[in-house]
Structure 1
Amino acid sequence: MTFISKDRPQTGDSANSLSNLHAATDTGLIFMFAGQGSQYFQMGRELYDHNEVFRRHMDRCDRLLSFDLRDVLYNDARKGAEFDTVEWTHPALFCLGYSLAQVLIDQGYRPAGVLGHSLGEYIAATIAGMLALEDGLGLVVQQAQILKQTCAEGSMITVMDSPELYRKRPDIFFRATLGGINYDKSFFVSGLADDLQRVLTALNSASVFSVQLPVRYGFHSSAIDPAESEFRNICRSVRLAKPQIPLYSCALGGVVGDHVLDAADEYLWRIPRGEAQFQTMVANSFPNPERYAFIDLSATATLSGFLKYGFGDRYTHHFAINQFGRNLDSMATLLSRISLQN
């Protein structure tokens, strides 16, 4: 099944060039994009119905797909259903994050940098100008197809405890991979579905609070290794441009350097396969937090929550939308807050 259209009309230009924005100012804003597990049906619906800029860019992304994403995402019959079909969730998360960023950019809020976590790193790379829109969206669509064709069902679990628990309790985690550390009291593990179900049972028995994420594949673990060869072959045909603004990578644990331009397949594969180093990346990359305001442009304010619970009041952070609705109000609040800071 193909999800990138070969006959639907496509735009001829790449992602909006930050160097050509009107009314752009260096605001010290860091746009953040989360990945799998943050999705839900109807995300961004109120903005799509009432915000012309958001709708225009969602429609632009939709024209690059071989299916109608808007019908999938905003079909009222699917309200409340679990949204975990990777062929839909991958492009949905990409299109949402990209379009939310364009709302702020249209208001003149040019990011001083972008930060990507897991799948969100492809969005961040697109906003930074490293990937053309067609390439960024195309990569996540093709990755989803390859995962479905080559990988067994997997799972991911967020554990609300110190990452030391992973090292101290091999009896619980011996069949799970440490996928990433969110902050000092939150990490996630990944692996094959049956193995992760046993981990979940063991965590419940040990009275450790955990949440199984709505994903069908074990990102950031060997569970997705069968997809590596084919996906990296696709990545070798993708041209990476030098980012126009700093691109902060959870896959690399810091800012993306020029060396990745000559190793596109290695970097683009490391995003879903390597450990997501959010805590380390933030601590190492932003030693002067007063210079920045972090804007979460994901569907559930996940990364804003990581900053809140992991770093206290050290970092200023806001979010555009969350899973509780009232998108217009939350976006208006965000714009008001960042206007006061700049």
Structure 2
Amino acid sequence: MKLGFLYAGQGSQHPGMGADLYEAYPAFRQVMDAAQAEVDFDLKRTCFEDPEGVLNQTRYTQPCMVAFAAGLTAVLREKGIVPSAAAGLSLGEYSSLHAAGVFDARTAVRLVAFRGKAMEEAAKGHDSAMMAVLGLEREPLQAACEAAADLGVVVIANYNCPGQLVIGGDKTAVEQAAALAKEKGAKRCMPLKVSGPFHTPLMKPAGEALERYFQGISFVAPDIPVLFNCLGREKEAEDSIPALLVRQVQSSVFMEDSVRRMAELGLDALVEIGPGKALSGFVKKTVPGFPVHAVETVADVEALERLVKENG
């Protein structure tokens, strides 16, 4: 059974994630225990309990999410369930690259721990906002952003699925673009609770910090197709993975395009590596009828294992 793995992004985290997996699977424990050495906080306690209430802060969210994803990937691999292609939403792209063999789990956690801090630092001093825009096509929303650009930076940051786009940038410009979007027919514009204007040009300092940091990291060629956020497809031979990751943090995420491309790759189903089911929702709206299975818990792992055995 040919599966495409989709890795969740920031926003789907919650206290308790991975606790049952840690108890049930030595492979998950091994990854989580090793990840602890790459960060300067109690990663497992934050994932499983979050007693300090910091899990939603970017610098904590990112290494916790990637450690969880890498651990779950290891569990599935041990059961013979491996991806034939991979993609991830924003932060999830690092997990997809790990799944493709570009770097090991500890390196992935170390990279996103740095990335989370760099993004928090880049967001400081900006009165910024991000807003989900529902029920409007790309072109009229792009026109709304361009019309509001005299008030500051505002761009389409995420192309999630048909009818769900996200804009981000300077708060006044975002609010003006949202007002114009409603005039153009948007059904709703909802402010998002995020700590910065992610995937906008305001993240350029984070991109520059990542570019310097990546110089000390070894990137191996992926052994399966990986669809990149800033492209919405696989990279070309001349594209550099570090350069694409630098670009990713400060430019639009084409998740809808990536999902459409996944559906073209001859896969039998997609597997969302959680927590959460946001990407499963995107798949259902982008390629209706294409099988997608969300995996977050021990019960989900067992269900996927049964499905794979039944389908060869």
Amino acid in structure 1 at the alignment position of 2:166: F
Q: Which runs of 5+ in 1 are unaligned?
A: 1-26, 322-326
1:182 alignment partner in structure 2: 160
Which of 244, 253, 258 is the matching residue for 2:223?
A: 244
For residues 1-342 of structure 1, the aligned pairs below 5 Å read 27-75=1-49, 77=51, 83-152=55-124, 153=126, 154-164=128-138, 165-170=140-145, 174=149, 175-193=153-171, 195-196=173-174, 208-260=187-239, 263-287=240-264, 289=266, 291-313=267-289, 315-321=290-296, 327-342=297-312
Q: 1:149 to 1:170 in 2, by over 3 A?
A: closer
Q: Which runs of 5+ in 2 are unaligned?
A: none
- Residue 239 of structure 1 deviates from its aligned partner by 1.7
- CA deviations on 1:234-271 (whole Å, 9 max, x unpaired) are 112222111112212222221134423xx344222122
Q: Indicate the SS of the match to 2:64.
A: helix
Please tell me whether the aligned partners of residues 6 and 271 of structure 2 are also in contact (alpha carbons under 8 angstroms).
yes
Q: Indicate the SS of the match to 1:105.
A: helix
What is the CA RMSD across the aligned residues, in angstroms?
Answer: 2.7
- Residue 210 of structure 1 deviates from its aligned partner by 4.0
Q: 1:331 to 1:214 in 2, by over 3 A?
A: farther
Amino acid in structure 2 at the alignment position of 1:66: D
- Residue 306 of structure 1 deviates from its aligned partner by 0.5
1:24 alignment partner in structure 2: none
Q: 1:297 to 1:167 in 2, by over 3 A?
A: same
Instruction: Tell me how far apart the structure 2 counterparts of residues 265 and 287 of structure 1 sit (CA, whole Å).
Output: 26
Q: Indicate the SS of the match to 2:276.
A: coil
Please tell me whether the aligned partners of residues 133 and 178 of structure 2 are also in contact (alpha carbons under 8 angstroms).
no
Q: What is the percent sequence identity of the aligned residues? A: 21
1:14 alignment partner in structure 2: none
Amino acid in structure 1 at the alignment position of 2:19: R
Instruction: Tell me how far apart the structure 1 counterparts of residues 148 and 223 of structure 2 sit (CA, whole Å).
Output: 41
For normalisation by structure 1, the TM-score amounts to 0.79
- CA deviations on 1:120-170 (whole Å, 9 max, x unpaired) are 111111111112333322221111222233433544322222333413534
Instruction: Tell me how far apart the structure 2 counterparts of residues 284 and 75 of structure 1 sit (CA, whole Å).
Output: 37
Which range moved further: 214-223 or 162-171? 162-171
Q: 1:71 to 1:288 in 2, by over 3 A?
A: closer
Q: Indicate the SS of the match to 1:48.
A: helix
Q: Indicate the SS of the match to 2:246.
A: helix
Instruction: Tell me how far apart the structure 1 counterparts of residues 29 and 88 of structure 2 sit (CA, whole Å).
Output: 23
Instruction: Tell me how far apart the structure 2 counterparts of residues 223 and 234 of structure 1 sit (CA, whole Å).
Output: 19
Q: 1:336 to 1:193 in 2, by over 3 A?
A: farther
Please tell me whether the aligned partners of residues 101 and 221 of structure 2 are also in contact (alpha carbons under 8 angstroms).
yes
Q: 1:230 to 1:82 in 2, by over 3 A?
A: closer
